[in-house]
Structure 1
């Protein structure tokens, strides 16, 4: 999935992008879904997510 935009819609987060390079999609993440996703993370993965912002990417 190529994410093109993130925007707020009320209390939700809307993710706009394309799947497989051709199919446009809008996914909506609700607060309940966000809390459920956080429950799936263990401490090691949460720490990785916090540090990924400071890592070098591939070019």
Structure 2
């Protein structure tokens, strides 16, 4: 009997009002493409492919400060909502 691993919860991307824009369910490789699978607005399935050329363009957008922020991002806490 094989034990199936539970699927990890999706990664939610939200807007400024904290409403869900996208739920990323998988990040995979397809040859030399990075494939992002998920749902937009909770209902519309989406598969996006990122080519190596486009990834290099994205890397040019990063400043040294933003690179540092991205390296430390997983270890940061989300800000607390303001008290009413």
Q: Which residue of 2 aligns with 1:45?
A: 66
Q: Which runs of 5+ in 2 are unaligned?
A: 1-21, 80-84
Q: Which runs of 4+ in 1 moved over 3 A?
A: none
TM-score scaled to structure 1, two decimals?
0.89
Q: Deviations over 1:25-54 (max 9, x none)?
A: 000011001000000111111110010121
The structure that has the greater radius of gyration is 2
Q: Distance in 2 between matches of 1:21 and 1:45?
A: 29
Q: Which residue of 1 aligns with 2:77?
A: 56
Q: Which residue of 1 aligns with 2:3?
A: none
CA RMSD of aligned residues (A): 1.3
Which one of the candidate residues 44, 49, 68 is aligned to 1:28? 49
Number of aligned residues: 58
TM-score scaled to structure 2, two decimals?
0.64
Which of 1 and 2 has higher RCO (CA within 8 Å, sep 6+)?
A: 1
